[in-house]
């Protein structure tokens, strides 16, 4: 490295550290790489996204940093990791099912052998002497015992393998929980929501922010009528529609089950309610069809409760107000925003 390049890199690093401190971003290697690239202005698209977020919210949260790093630096590695995890999950499921079937077959085989040799031990051959008959029976019984021991050992081995597979599934499930994206819909999950809401509450944007809690109406009935696979498609379509409104710092999350949440920076109650009403109307226009029959299914609607973050507010109280407004929307007939925009 030349002296000029070294001096330039040192200058960039001196700018990165104050930015990390200003926006309360942890000094991790990935965040260094992200902000170093921003300071160096070597990725115009990345710089645009960071500037847009800072303009909308006044900061760049840890969740947003990770998302930008994945999209600009780690796309290929992340995709490979996701593909590997999916393959591993499929393998674990397939092996688990195979082990169960094999254990059942082994039990059946052992029972058949026991029954066969039990019958054989009672068979007498007129052409054989008593001593010869006894020798045949003893040999058969001995063989049966050996097979029983062999199958018993095999069953133990399979049981050990099953326990290992169960442990692997648990590890994968935990890894999914620790991820920031929902596995089904692809949008941010509850863990990311908690982190992002905490960051906004600790350092609110200049004009404050609001929370939208959205719940699909009569979703249980829809699942019972059309099945969970179709229900999953509805959740994906809803998440996609919510993602379409993730502009100017707005972020969408799967809050749990059929419930979603949106964080809307620089919008107080009235402005956030207008955003919520636009989203409600958009989801109401969704057309759901059964791909197998091309039959149009029941319309999907959503109820939305809105709350703004007030001075002296806590995360718990803000969520409680939004949840109360959501409950009121449900109580008044669903497919509406509360409070009324």
Q: Which residue numbers are catalytic? A: 258
Tokens of 240: 């996609």
Measuring CA to CA, how many Å separate 55 from each of 31, 160, 175, 177, 249? 19, 56, 33, 31, 9
Q: How far apart are CA 224 and CA 297, in angstroms?
A: 13
Burial class, 105, CB count within 10 angstroms (exposed 0-12 / middle 13-18 / buried 19+): exposed
Tokens of 340: 């009324």
> What residues pair up with 305 in beta bridges, in sequence order?
213, 338
Q: How far apart are CA 331 and CA 341, in angstroms?
A: 17
Give first-to-last CA distance, the chain, whole Å: 60
Task: Provide the pairing of β-strand 259-265 with 302-308.
Answer: unpaired
Q: Tell me the residue length of the chain.
A: 341
Q: How far apart are CA 31 and CA 25, in angstroms?
A: 8
Count of CB atoms within 10 A of residue 33's CB? 15
Q: How far apart are CA 168 and CA 302, in angstroms?
A: 37
Q: How far apart are CA 108 and CA 155, in angstroms?
A: 12
Helix (H, G, I), strand (E, B) or coil at 331: helix
């Amino acid at each position: 490295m030349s002296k000029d390049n070294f001096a330039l890199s040192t200058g960039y690093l001196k700018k990165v550290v104050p930015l990390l401190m200003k926006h309360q971003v942890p000094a991790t290697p990935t965040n260094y790489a992200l902000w170093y690239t921003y300071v160096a202005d070597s990725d115009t698209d990345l710089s645009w996204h960071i500037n847009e977020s800072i303009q909308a919210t006044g900061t760049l949260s840890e969740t947003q940093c990770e998302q930008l790093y994945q999209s600009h630096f780690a796309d290929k590695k992340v995709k490979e990791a996701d593909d590997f995890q999916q393959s591993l999950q499929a393998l674990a499921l397939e092996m688990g099912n195979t082990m169960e079937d094999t254990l059942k077959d082994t039990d059946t085989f052992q029972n058949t052998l026991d029954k066969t040799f039990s019958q054989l031990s009672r068979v007498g051959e007129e052409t054989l002497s008593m001593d010869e008959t006894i020798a045949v029976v003893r040999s058969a019984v001995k063989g049966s015992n050996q097979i029983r021991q062999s199958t018993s050992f095999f069953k133990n081995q399979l049981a050990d393998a099953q326990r290992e597979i169960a442990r692997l599934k648990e590890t994968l499930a935990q890894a999914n929980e620790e991820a920031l994206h929902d596995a089904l819909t692809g949008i941010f999950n509850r863990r990311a929501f908690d982190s992002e809401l905490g960051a906004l509450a600790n350092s609110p944007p200049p004009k404050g922010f609001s929370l939208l809690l959205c719940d699909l109406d009569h979703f249980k009935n829809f699942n019972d009528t059309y099945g969970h696979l179709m229900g999953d498609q509805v959740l994906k379509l809803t998440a996609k529609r919510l993602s379409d409104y993730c502009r100017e710092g707005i972020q969408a999350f799967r809050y749990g089950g059929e419930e979603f949440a949106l964080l809307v920076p620089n919008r107080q109650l009235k402005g956030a309610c207008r955003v919520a009403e636009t989203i409600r109307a958009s989801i109401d226009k969704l057309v759901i069809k059964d791909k197998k029959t091309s039959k149009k299914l029941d319309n999907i609607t959503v109820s939305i409760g809105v709350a703004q973050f007030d001075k002296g507010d806590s995360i718990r109280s803000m969520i409680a107000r939004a949840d109360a407004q959501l409950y009121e929307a449900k109580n008044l007939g669903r497919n509406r925003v509360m409070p009324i925009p």
